[in-house]
Structures are given as structure tokens and as C-alpha cells.
């Protein structure tokens, strides 16, 4: 069973915050091409391990990887869900007002880019894993539940004594 809650808040408050946080996002169609990150070699190795653990389906959607082909990117449902591994640390992580959720033992920072659905970036891991969701997931962080176990298995914790 996964947990969807901002750090340290009761579940009901957390759910309300996630819903409010992602409300108002606008849609963009998935693009055929996804920028491939260029992490340092050690992080790229973690991403390659993650690529081997990723599921064939996420939120009931079949895997349909984007172009260019890379072990650092994956997608499901014609890019309704896009994962990029080894992305740079998002600037927003320095903002004490940034919002986060914990899903399936992985902590994620939430961003709401203009013109799209929510974007989540793992925190307290040895490399950053970014998951962008289509607007239809504006009220549903459920796809993260399908990705939590692979992240837990392949990307070790860093800097967090509570990290699994």
C-alpha cells in the first residue's frame, strides 16, 4: 500500500494539498521526443539499473518509450507518463515552500509547470528521477505508486536518515 502525503502532514490534509497543488494545470500533448539527461557516470549507472527494473505498465498504460532511445528515459501511454533519470537538481528544491509527497516509500517534490500536468522529482536519492504526468493525472499521483518499487530498488538513498 502506498502513501501519498506531503512530508509530516496528516493523510487527509496531505490529500487535499496534493489536489490543490495540481489543480489548475493546463494540458499539453505529449511530445514524440524527450530530452535525455546527461548525468555523471556514477548516476548514469544508477539510471541503467533503474531502466532494468521499470514495469511494462504504469497506471494501466503500456510502455511506449520516447525518442531518442535511451536507458535514461521511459514513457507509458504515448508519453502520458514520462520518466527521466539523472536530471539536474531542480532549482525549486531550494525553495522552503516547495511541496512534496511520499508515495510507496519514495519522497517526491511536486512542480506544476505551465502548460502541462504535474511533474515530480525524487528527493534524497543518489540521482534525481523525474516523472512528468499528463494533465489527466492532475488529481492523481497514482502512477508514482507503480514507479516507487523500481526507484527504491535501483536508486539508493542519500542524505536522509529516514529514507528506505
Q: Quick: pLDDT tens for 108-118.
A: 999 998 888 99
pLDDT band at 2 (very low <50, low <70, confident <90, very high): very low
Q: Would residue 34 count as lying in a domain?
A: yes
Residue 28 lies in a domain: yes
- CB-side exposure of 5: number of CA atoms within 13 Å? 11
Within a domain: residue 119? yes
Model confidence band, residue 160 (pLDDT cutoffs 50, 70, 90): low
Confidence of residue 97 (pLDDT cuts 50, 70, 90): confident
Q: Where are the beta strands (DSSP E) in the chain?
A: 57-58, 61-62, 73-76, 81-87, 99-103, 106-111, 119-122, 128-133
pLDDT confidence of residue 163 = 72
C-alpha 118/C-alpha 123 separation (Å) is: 16
**Number of domains comprising the chain:** 1
Domain assignment present for residue 163? The answer is no
Q: Which domain holds residue 127?
A: 11-154
| Average pLDDT score, the chain | 82
What does pTM read for this prediction? 0.79
Question: CA angle, 49 as apex, 47 and 55 as ends, to 5°?
Answer: 95
Q: Is residue 75 part of a domain?
A: yes
Domain assignment present for residue 6? The answer is: no
Amino acid at each position: 500500500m502506498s502513501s501519498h502525503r506531503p512530508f509530516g502532514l496528516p493523510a487527509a490534509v496531505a490529500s487535499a494539498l496534493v489536489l490543490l497543488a495540481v489543480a489548475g494545470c493546463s494540458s499539453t500533448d505529449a511530445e514524440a521526443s524527450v530530452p535525455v539527461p546527461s548525468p555523471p557516470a556514477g548516476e548514469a549507472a544508477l539510471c541503467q539499473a533503474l531502466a532494468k527494473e521499470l514495469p511494462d505498465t504504469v497506471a494501466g498504460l503500456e510502455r511506449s518509450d520516447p525518442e531518442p532511445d535511451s536507458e535514461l528515459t521511459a514513457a507509458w501511454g504515448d508519453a502520458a507518463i514520462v520518466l527521466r533519470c539523472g536530471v539536474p537538481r531542480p532549482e525549486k528544491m531550494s525553495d522552503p515552500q516547495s511541496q512534496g509527497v511520499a508515495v510507496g516509500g519514495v519522497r517526491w517534490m511536486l512542480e506544476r509547470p505551465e502548460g502541462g500536468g504535474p511533474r515530480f522529482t525524487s528527493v534524497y536519492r543518489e540521482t534525481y528521477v523525474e516523472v512528468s504526468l499528463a494533465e489527466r493525472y492532475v488529481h492523481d499521483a497514482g502512477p508514482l505508486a507503480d514507479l516507487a518499487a523500481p526507484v527504491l530498488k535501483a536508486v539508493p538513498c542519500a542524505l536522509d536518515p529516514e529514507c528506505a
